[in-house]
């Protein structure tokens, strides 16, 4: 029995069980959360697409194997977290995020390596007088390719 608007109850649901299952799957897809790699000027790490949960990358973590272990740990922590325990994400992911910019180029048809090269050229033009930002972009690009090779993204 389903409760309709205004408190009235439907005694019979004329939809087939396939229709109800499809509707349920569609709702689950709309609310499905994703683990997103995020790189900002002041944050680098994994975040949830639905809430403000995050798992920051430790500052001194540089070894590739250690980063892979960190990624596995982040995936477990992400799977275990409850979005209800965190604030909801208010907007779309930041368009200035390095990873987002590379993903956008890939979605436009560029091969990942070409997308990274183009991204680094764009950043070099946009931030030519900011060597720290250029270094962050280069590190983000290398991490993007490493995570892509590892099958994490």
Tell me, yes or no, whether 27 and 46 share the same domain: no
Radius of gyration from C-alpha coordinates of the chain: 21
Tell me, yes or no, whether 75 and 90 share the same domain: yes
pLDDT digits (tens, 9 = 90+) for 96-106: 678 888 888 98
pLDDT digits (tens, 9 = 90+) for 56-100: 988 787 788 888 889 899 999 999 999 888 887 765 555 567 888
Tell me, yes or no, whether 101 and 119 share the same domain: yes
Q: Say what the pLDDT of residue 61 is.
A: 77
CA separation for the pair 105, 127 (Å, rounded): 19
Tell me, yes or no, whether 61 and 21 share the same domain: no
Tell me, yes or no, whether 92 and 143 share the same domain: yes
pLDDT digits (tens, 9 = 90+) for 24-56: 555 444 457 888 888 777 788 899 988 889 999
CA separation for the pair 46, 71 (Å, rounded): 8
Tell me, yes or no, whether 68 and 131 share the same domain: yes
Taking the complete model, does pTM exceed 0.85, yes or no? no
Tell me, yes or no, whether 26 and 90 share the same domain: no
Tell me, yes or no, whether 137 and 94 share the same domain: yes
* CB of 142 closer than 8 Å to CB of 124: no
Tell me, yes or no, whether 66 and 15 share the same domain: no
């Amino acid at each position: 029995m389903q409760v309709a608007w205004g408190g009235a109850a439907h005694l019979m649901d004329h939809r087939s069980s396939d229709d109800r299952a499809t509707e349920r799957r569609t709702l689950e897809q709309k609310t499905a959360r994703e683990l997103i790699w995020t790189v900002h000027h002041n944050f680098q790490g994994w975040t949830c697409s639905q809430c403000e949960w995050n798992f920051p990358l430790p500052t001194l973590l540089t070894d590739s194997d250690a980063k892979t272990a960190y990624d596995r740990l982040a995936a477990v922590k992400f799977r275990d977290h409850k979005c209800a325990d965190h604030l909801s994400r208010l907007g779309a992911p930041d368009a200035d995020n390095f990873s987002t910019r590379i993903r956008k180029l890939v979605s436009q048809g560029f091969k990942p390596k070409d997308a990274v090269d183009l991204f680094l050229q764009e950043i070099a033009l946009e931030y030519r007088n900011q060597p720290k930002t250029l270094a962050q972009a280069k590190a983000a690009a290398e991490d993007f390719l490493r995570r892509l090779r590892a099958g994490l993204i």
